[in-house]
Amino acid sequence: MSMQRNVNAPPSPAKATHDFEPPQALLDFMATGWLDRPAASDVHAQAGLFAQRRAALSKAYPGTYLVVPAGREHVRANDTFFRFRPSSDFAYLVGAGEPGAILVLEPVGASHRSLLFVPEHNRGKAEFFTDRVYGELWVGRHRGVDESRAFFGVDDCRPMGARGEYLQQLRAAGYPVRIVRSHDDEIDRRFDETTGDAELAEHLSEMRLIKEDYELAELRKACAISKLAFEDAIRAMRTATSERAIEAAFWGRARTDANDVGYLTIAAASEHACTLHWTKNDGPLRKGDLLLLDAGVECDSLYTADITRTLPVSGRFSAEQRRIYELVWEAQRAGIEAVVAGNDFLEPHRRAMQVLAQGLIDLGILKTSLDEALDPDRLLHRRYTLHGTSHMLGLDVHDCALARTEEYRHGKLREGMVLTVEPGLYFQPDDATVPERFRGIGVRIEDDVAVAAAGPENLSAILPSQPDEVERWIAELWKS
């Protein structure tokens, strides 16, 4: 038979301008002569947990279709893409998926059935060797429809080529539909946006606020691998001459032992440490400077660490560097102690800011009382410490971002939440309000802390942070 192109496939940049047009003879030749591969029989280790999460979501939306896309690949340059990562809500409910996949929860009585659209095997079709996005000779073998149904533990699974017709029928029928938006343009275009869409995203964010035992274990794993990556970076720091070498060393471990980094690494030396999100990482590394390394490893499960250590490039802090570092360290200790169930989410921030503001007064930088410095109508200390002290952590480095403010920023800490505690001080090199000996110093110390029944559990405490411990840590690594 002649090989045919799949006209129902979703639109994608499947061909490049420099691709050739295969003649029919080649299409026919490629259609046959392939050996059958045995179907994989494995099941996702967390399929049962994902099913429980879908069931919990189902109870909140009886009678409503829920559409959760994995998302599309993002263009890096022309017809090449960044490495694909599924949307966090899709990963939370299904696990890692492929570009274009969709989870639909279809209402059945008072509950839902799970329907998953996935890329199908395309051996024997033109897409097999002509489609740069889904062709299995281009991107590797897909799990396929039948294997995906078993692997992910869903009720039904269909080829992705059928998703367009399904969505069209869903829209035409006028059923109540809620969509997790901004991950798949095709789905967003098919359905008018409603307030229900925003409410669904909000609800999923709030489901993710409390971490299960599995999630806590994955976050501990992310911290453990991040420690190894920090140590690789510290070894590189001994001879490195640029921030790039630090970023490369950290990423090497993240990619070797896990999935990737969870966000763009900040490897900020000298005055670059005073730029809160310095990710260019193209500056020099000089003895006598500080290196602010804010980085985290993302596990294969997509849970990520988010850790910052500020390291003396020479191996030892100068007197001025140590004084600022110790002030930030004391502020972080105060913040971590406040990560207790029942406290306001903002309590760790308030505790850390009290320490920093008093320290700035003691240094003669702030010429005011502590009450005046912390007055919400003044906040003069924020000139030197602009960012908040905490954010939620999990599948996203800034996790649960769409939760309602009364459940997150202005909510109470609850057992199972995981948040960062990351105070910092940043003295810009051209800030005339700062004594010259401190200008250009930027220090941040960040750990990942779980709210536990017995008190704060610092998941990243395996990385030294007290200044003497940091110096010993560097010295030991430089011996090896």
Which residues touch 388 (CB under 8 Å, ≥6 apart)? Answer: 349
| Residue 145 near residue 118, CB atoms below 8 Å | yes
Report how far residue 22's alpha carbon sits from residue 57's, in angstroms, rounded to the nearest whole number: 47
- The residue annotated as part of the active site, out of 298, 446, 448, 471, is 446
Q: Is 411 exposed, middle or buried (0-12, 13-18, 19+ CB in 10 A)?
A: middle
Residue reference for tokens 């046959």: 32
Asked about 306 being catalytic, the answer comes back as yes
- The residue annotated as part of the active site, out of 238, 398, 410, 437, is 398
The DSSP string of 287-330 is TT-EEEEEE-EEPTTS-B--EEEEEETTSS--HHHHHHHHHHHH
Asked about 391 being catalytic, the answer comes back as yes
Asked about 298 being catalytic, the answer comes back as no
- The residue annotated as part of the active site, out of 232, 243, 294, 347, is 294
Give the CB-side neighbour count of residue 453, counting CA atoms within 13 A.
Answer: 0
| Residue 97 near residue 104, CB atoms below 8 Å | no
162: tokens are: 């059928």
- The residue annotated as part of the active site, out of 74, 76, 277, 286, is 277
- The residue annotated as part of the active site, out of 181, 444, 447, 448, is 444
Report how far residue 337's alpha carbon sits from residue 1's, in angstroms, rounded to the nearest whole number: 71
Asked about 244 being catalytic, the answer comes back as no
Asked about 127 being catalytic, the answer comes back as no
Asked about 446 being catalytic, the answer comes back as yes
- The residue annotated as part of the active site, out of 106, 391, 408, 471, is 391
Asked about 143 being catalytic, the answer comes back as no
Asked about 220 being catalytic, the answer comes back as no
- The residue annotated as part of the active site, out of 244, 323, 350, 387, is 387
Asked about 89 being catalytic, the answer comes back as no
- The residue annotated as part of the active site, out of 306, 396, 448, 471, is 306
Report how far residue 431's alpha carbon sits from residue 453's, in angstroms, rounded to the nearest whole number: 44
- The residue annotated as part of the active site, out of 422, 447, 448, 471, is 422
Angle at 251 between CA 245 and CA 256, to 5 degrees: 130
Report how far residue 124's alpha carbon sits from residue 136's, in angstroms, rounded to the nearest whole number: 11
Active site (catalytic) residues:
79, 277, 294, 306, 387, 391, 398, 422, 426, 444, 446
